[in-house]
């Protein structure tokens, strides 16, 4: 019997990214895949939800930016202090912020097409750095993010961002286009 997968993310930028890029990679393995932005929900409710997911024998991935913490371990300690029912094995820490994962997926050709710099690594890219890189032709950062998602390459992102690569490898996800090409 297939289970349900809940992907708990911080906010709307994460919802967009996980909905467009990550969710399709999981749908064949679960009855349903739901993305839930937890930052606007009270901690007590999130904690109860985590407990109920486990009691229903479903799976979850809890995504958090590393933000100002010095290490993944430190970020996990913060999360443990906030959520007593969180499972360390279900935590994914994005380094530095979700914007670094968006930008990591741009190939050299895509970066050139979008008229942005081709960054070799995005591990240290912050929200502020990302915002500075948005070309003036975009009306908003959300428009720019949607445009990036049109050209996003999982393989490229794995080469440009270590935490994205870790996430893909940990969950045995591959770019479906590459899988198809290898058959």
Residue with tokens 């008229």: 115
Model pLDDT for residues 106-148, shown as the tens digit of each residue = 999 999 999 999 999 999 999 999 999 999 999 999 999 999 9
Nearby residues of 139 by Cβ (< 8 Å), 6 or more positions away: none
pLDDT at 174: 72
Question: What integer pLDDT is reported at residue 1 of this predicted model?
Answer: 62
* CA distances from residue 168 to 47, 48, 56, 150, 155 in whole angstroms, order as listed: 26, 28, 25, 19, 10
Which of 2.60.40, 3.30.70, 3.40.50, 3.30.160 would CATH assign to domain 1-94? Answer: 3.40.50
Match 């229903």 to its residue by tokens.
56
Residues 81-102: tens digit of each pLDDT: 999 999 999 999 999 999 999 9
End-to-end CA distance of the chain: 28
Phi, then psi, of 34 in degrees rounded to 5: -120, 135
Strand order in the sheet with 32-37: 32-37, 4-9, 59-65, 91-94
Domain boundaries, the chain: 1-94, 98-160
Q: How far apart are CA 178 and CA 174, in angstroms?
A: 7
| CA distance readout (Å), 152 to 103, 111, 115, 128 | 8, 10, 15, 20
């Amino acid at each position: 019997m297939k289970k349900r997968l809940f992907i708990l993310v911080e906010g709307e930028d994460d919802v967009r990214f996980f909905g467009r890029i990550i969710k399709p990679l999981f749908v064949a393995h679960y009855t349903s895949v739901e993305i839930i932005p937890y930052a606007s929900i009270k901690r007590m409710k999130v904690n109860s939800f985590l407990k109920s997911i486990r009691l229903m024998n479903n799976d979850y991935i809890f995504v958090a930016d590393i933000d100002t913490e010095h290490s993944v371990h430190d970020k996990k300690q913060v999360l443990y202090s906030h959520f007593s029912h969180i499972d360390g094995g279900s935590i994914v820490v994005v380094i530095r912020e979700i914007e670094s994962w968006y930008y990591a997926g741009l190939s050299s050709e895509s970066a050139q097409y979008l008229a942005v710099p081709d960054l070799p690594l995005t591990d240290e890219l912050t929200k502020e750095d990302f915002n500075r890189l948005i070309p003036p032709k975009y009306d908003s950062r959300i428009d720019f993010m949607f445009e990036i998602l049109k050209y996003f390459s999982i393989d490229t992102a794995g080469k440009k961002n270590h935490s994205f690569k870790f996430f893909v490898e940990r969950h045995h996800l591959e770019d479906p286009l590459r899988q198809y090409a290898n058959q």
